[in-house]
Amino acid sequence: MHEYSIRPFCSADWPGVEKILTEAVAEGNATFRSRVPAFDEWNKSHYPFARLTAQKSGLVAAWAALSYMKVGCSSEGLGEVSIYIAQEHQRRGLGRKLLLDLRKEAFENGLWTLHSVIMSDNIPSIELHKNCGFRIVGECEKISKDISGKWRNIIIMESRHKEND
């Protein structure tokens, strides 16, 4: 982990973020996306804080950010977690560091609940979230098809600020 640095995302990081997201779309086990959005679209859908990258030798190795949740009349205080790690940088502690830092920054900025929607067979991501204080709050069967057309189940996990438990 010492060879990586965690820092806030800046627009110059977008090519690295985009590359990792493109890899995740192609792999098909971490997102239902069928395409990577343009930066402006991505930027508008995410909070301006709690955007982090893990860098190695000046290149983005992993990233995490919070998108706005649309759950009714008020979604203030809620965020949906995105966390992606380039395949060659997985299982090195980056996910844990990014997710814990993301939670801390989210709660410091007034959010009280974070949600993650994870494909049920993505066991490493589920375990990462459990190890970072998230709990399973639901499961949906055959919620959507992945890019290959296969029906996928999801696990919904959440982390709440201690003051709102």
pLDDT tens-digit readout, 16-43 = 999 999 998 888 777 778 889 999 999 9
Domains located in the chain, CATH noted: 5-164 (3.40.630.30)
Average pLDDT, the chain: 90
DSSP string for 40-101: HHHHHTB-SSS-EEEEETTEEEEEEEEEE---SS--TTEEEEEEEE-GGG-SSSHHHHHHHH
Is pTM beyond 0.85? Reply is yes
Q: What is the pLDDT of residues 37-67, one digit of tens each?
A: 999 999 999 999 999 999 999 999 999 999 9
